[in-house]
């Protein structure tokens, strides 16, 4: 293990040990305390400390994009409840709101359904110096739409044949395109849906499609497999983030974004290397999906 990774690993272990000791002391002194909420709260505070230096780097990256009028698009894809929204909030939390936008498009209007499919997405593309974060993207046509009958088989196939060349053209125009796929397991998705159903603060997140997601798991898996297989390329690769552990997936997502370009004043003491337990290759994800459809 490289020294940088070893040091980070030791720091995390030490933080976890201190967290456990502090938690146990509070429980002993307050026997009626909600131990689950206490542990989650302390763990959350520790995770914020781990993530903070990377969030500082995101501000440096944003400054670089603005200074050099670079354009960046980050796509956040994944099944429902895979952690896309939470990752976007952590990434954007401290950035300058004048130079980034989060785009989460709803159901197409009647006018949009008659346009070229990509037209409503292009409308939201970044200008020079701007970063745009798509909470779901044009890849709706590769997974959700064909499974739920929102597009025809011909529309699906045309998209799958054309999208790689379209993205290659974007890269040729010096647009930085990052494609992140948050890969949640079937069991974890079910657990998160149940939490949404039983928590009044989260019930608004549930949609009719969410309620069908577990029943349609295998059909969505088939489309996911085809999407990763056919739209992953050297110039526009997918980055697969195993997201049952939300914190680890968020941290790995930030690392991918930070490694996408050589911005100025990078903190070289930080570990930017992927944790291969959570940031895995497309090939590994496809191999896993051929064995079973848990992801």
Measured CA to CA in angstroms, residue 55 lies from 49, 96, 176, 242, 250 at distances of 10, 12, 19, 20, 11
Residue-level pLDDT at 48: 81
Residue-level pLDDT at 155: 98
Q: Is residue 3 part of a domain?
A: no
Residue-level pLDDT at 160: 98
The CATH number of the domain holding residue 138 is 3.40.50.300
Q: Is residue 274 part of a domain?
A: yes
Report the half-sphere exposure of 10 (CA within 13 A, side-chain side).
7
Q: Is residue 144 part of a domain?
A: yes
| Rounded Cα distance, 127 and 183, in Å | 30
Q: How many domains does the chain divide into?
A: 1
Q: Is residue 31 part of a domain?
A: no
Residue-level pLDDT at 201: 84
Could you count the other beta carbons within 10 Å of the beta carbon of residue 20?
Answer: 13
Q: Is residue 233 part of a domain?
A: yes
For 10, phi then psi, to 5°, come to -65, -40
Here the contacts of 26-34 (C-beta below 8 Å, separation 24 or greater) are: none
Residue-level pLDDT at 75: 98
Q: Is residue 8 part of a domain?
A: no
Domain that holds residue 265: 54-291
Q: Is residue 13 part of a domain?
A: no
Q: Are 115 and 78 in contact (CB under 8 A)?
A: no
Contacts of 82 (CB under 8 A, 6+ apart): 182, 183, 184, 189, 243
Q: Is residue 10 part of a domain?
A: no
Which residue ranges of the chain lie beneath pLDDT 50? 1, 9
**Per-residue pLDDT tens digits for 238-256:** 999 999 999 999 999 999 9
Residue-level pLDDT at 206: 81
Residue-level pLDDT at 43: 66
């Amino acid at each position: 293990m490289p020294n940088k990774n070893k040091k980070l690993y030791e720091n995390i272990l030490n933080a976890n040990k201190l967290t456990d000791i502090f938690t146990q002391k509070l429980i002993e002194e307050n026997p009626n305390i909600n131990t689950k909420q206490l542990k989650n709260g302390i763990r959350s505070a520790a995770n914020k400390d781990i993530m903070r230096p990377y969030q500082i780097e995101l501000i440096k990256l944003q400054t670089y994009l603005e200074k050099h009028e670079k354009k960046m698009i980050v796509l956040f894809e994944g099944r429902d409840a895979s952690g896309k929204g939470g990752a976007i909030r952590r990434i954007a939390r401290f950035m300058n709101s004048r130079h980034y936008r989060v785009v989460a498009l709803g159901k197409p209007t009647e006018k949009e359904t008659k346009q070229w499919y990509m037209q409503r997405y292009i409308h939201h593309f970044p200008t020079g110096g701007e970063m745009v974060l798509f909470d779901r993207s044009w890849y709706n046509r590769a997974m959700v739409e064909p499974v739920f009958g929102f597009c025809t088989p011909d529309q699906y196939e045309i998209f799958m044949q054309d999208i790689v060349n379209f993205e290659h053209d974007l890269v040729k125009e010096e647009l930085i395109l990052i494609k992140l796929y948050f890969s949640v397991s079937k069991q974890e998705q079910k657990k998160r849906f149940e939490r949404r159903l039983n928590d009044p603060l989260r019930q608004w997140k549930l949609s009719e499609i969410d309620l069908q997601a577990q029943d349609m798991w295998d059909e969505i898996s088939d489309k996911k497999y085809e999407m990763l297989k056919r739209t992953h390329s050297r110039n526009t690769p997918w980055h697969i983030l195993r997201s049952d552990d939300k914190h680890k997936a968020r941290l790995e997502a930030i690392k991918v974004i930070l490694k996408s370009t050589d911005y100025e004043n990078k903190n070289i003491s930080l570990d930017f290397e992927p944790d291969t337990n959570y940031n895995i290759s497309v090939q590994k994800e496809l191999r896993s999906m051929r064995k079973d459809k848990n992801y």
